[in-house]
Chains A and B, each alone.
Chain A
């Protein structure tokens, strides 16, 4: 067994120090990972801010920042990716950020107001909603009358998640793109409030179904950190088996859907057929096509039936190898992907891209290797990267990851130790923990705070799609309509995870 990865370090940072600390961290090549606010009991009626800083393989840092005023300095002029977090904190906790470049509401739709701030403990917030059109840039100049506005959604063609997309376009060229997300905001974080830790796991699985395992895992690891309990080795290995099964069916779906947008019909059918077979393997092994109802605080709830999965997975791996090679040799398909939706390495880093999206832009980051959890410290994790940053690079990263997931699953089947599946996990009243997982779409974080009775006081969810939707916009401005659907598919975004 290897040495466990050191836990995050908590630092107190004064409000006045924030901006300088942030500049220093970025100067050192660190990346602000996320920010959230919560209300510690009996301290003040103002929330406490938390910033999480990621610095490669070094332990994560958590900055704890108490404020005496409802107005704090904005950091998004230094770290632009924090802008969405600050806007969310404004919407849900009522704080204002001085000097924020774009202080508009994010989670609340245009025309929606809420009172009191939803995340105040015990509050029963009420949303008043009179729909307004989104605030769009003003168009002026000699060609203004030729520029057209296409509002698309929230109900879109096909079976898709709800979201509204406004395009300013001139002929085929997209001049400006504005996604209005958060039609699916369900207040999931608030819903954890007051639950027992065990029931929270059921809810975490229902934030984004295609990330059920990653959500349950990050949530449970946060609680286990709070409780200081050590999950038994067998459960750790089975957890990574589940996580890789999840990556596998997600990436197969991704490839099928990408072929749908490039109209490669047989390629689409093959990708979706392989996805279906992976889901049927999931069902036979765990009783659930989305691998739910197994991961629980302290380990696993029951033993999955993995005796029979080796053979169908080998078969799937062979077919995926052939399928991947065919996709990589199909000129009509590749013509639509190469140079489509280029995301530069710098933009990916500054704006907070994560998962296969950032790896396709040359950023070699993967929580499974950099901040290893579960049994990943003892597994061989190969991180797939590409430099091009286009839709093709994103496809290549996914194909490589899917094949590597099958290797990892086989690795688990070989090495799985015997032993118990679960230990008691009882976090102390007033404790807190941070958990994370590299979901199929990228980094997922759960920050969990417990109240004085040992129930959940605050659960913050940082989903990978929340990060990648923000980045995606930059690849759409100044592109063209024909490429839009392909570009969106190549990012592999979910809306449920982003909106929560």
Chain B
């Protein structure tokens, strides 16, 4: 019988202390492509045709850029970056895309100021700095689950931040939903929400839960959590990486600021 205790001690501490300091563990991860409308040329619609979830569409109005870009629909497939002949879309490591208002995921010319809408300000008073989460899979591809499970691996060690997953919605402060909401999961999802004590919060994790993404719609699916339940935090990404999920959770707890407004990361925070 091997000495697992000794083995564990020998391995030492491997948890990152991010976001306070240290590595976020996401070196190399490609995030949402950045959009620069000044490089966009008239008559070209290569990116629109290459965008499966319709995150990039031709802007019908005469105002603003000729393209409308909705990062709430982006699955970070990077095809727009590859097909754009003029580098109007460039690869980035911008993945901390958690926002409290759905509109903040849509690109606008003048990036809004950092004064995002404050969450229900009672959250800090009610929950302190801790949070209990009930997760519901409403039809994901299991990518979001894989990254949510990673939160409890020794590297991210979510417990160190006072955040826990709980088996029962009765003990949960936050309902964390993945997937585009299939016809069969609508009922169980609502029941889980109804079973939670108030105040309760809802987070839509992953592009499917935010907007349906590539998998929403069709004969068996809805288009995300909007319209099913009130959403407090939207976190697109396909799937959002563990650090992005941690950032969104810290944002909910008012322990980190929202970094995205008008579909853009704040200038100072761009890598």
Q: Give A residues with C-beta under 8 Å from B.
A: 109, 112, 114, 118, 124-127, 129, 131, 154-155, 157-162, 182-188, 190-191, 195, 198-199, 202-203, 205-210, 212, 253, 256, 264-267, 269-270, 272-273, 275-277, 279-280, 283-290, 292-293, 301-302, 305, 326, 329-332, 494-497
Contact = CB atoms under 8 A, between A and B. Distances in A.
A202 B75 CA distance: 9
Interface string B185-215: 1011000100000000000000000000111
A270 B184 CA distance: 36
Given A158-B167, A162-B185, A208-B142, A284 B28 contact: yes
Interface string B146-178: 111110111110000000010101000000000
A337 to B, nearest CB: 15
A332 B184 contact: no
Interface string B74-92: 0111110010000000010
Contact of A279 (B50, B79, B150, B152): B150
A190 B136 CA distance: 25
Interface string B1-18: 110110110010010000
A-B residue pairs, 8 tightest by C-beta? A209-B143, A157-B167, A272-B153, A287-B30, A284-B28, A266-B4, A187-B220, A125-B219
A154 B185 contact: yes
Given A127-B220, A184-B140, A287-B28, A159 B165 contact: yes
Contact of A187 (B1, B79, B221): B221
Contacts of B77: 202, 205, 292-293
B11 A191 contact: no
Interface of B: 1-2, 4-5, 7-8, 11, 14, 25-30, 50, 52, 75-79, 82, 91, 134-150, 152-156, 165, 167, 169, 179-180, 182-185, 187-188, 192, 213-215, 218-221, 238-239, 241
A131 to B, nearest CB: 6
B142 to A, nearest CB: 4
Nearest to A496: B142
5 contacts: A127-B219, A191-B215, A205-B77, A256-B153, A284-B28
B14 A273 contact: yes
B220 A186 contact: yes
Given A160-B145, A301-B82, A183 B184 contact: yes
Given A187-B220, A269-B154, A162 B139 contact: yes
Contact of B141 (A209, A273, A280): A209
Nearest to B176: A159
Contacts of B138: 162
B232 to A, nearest CB: 19
Given A162-B137, A270-B11, A496-B141, A186 B221 contact: yes
Contact of B1 (A112, A154, A277, A329): A329
Contacts of B50: 198-199
A112 B26 CA distance: 42
Contacts of A277: 155
A23 B154 CA distance: 53
Contacts of B150: 272, 275-276, 279
Given A160-B145, A276-B25, A264 B4 contact: yes
Given A112-B184, A289-B147, 15 more contacts: A124-B219, A127-B183, A129-B184, A159-B149, A162-B139, A183-B185, A185-B220, A186-B180, A190-B219, A202-B77, A205-B77, A207-B141, A210-B142, A326-B2, A329-B2
Contact of A118 (B75, B76, B143, B219): B219
Given A276-B25, A290-B143, A326-B2, A184 B215 contact: no
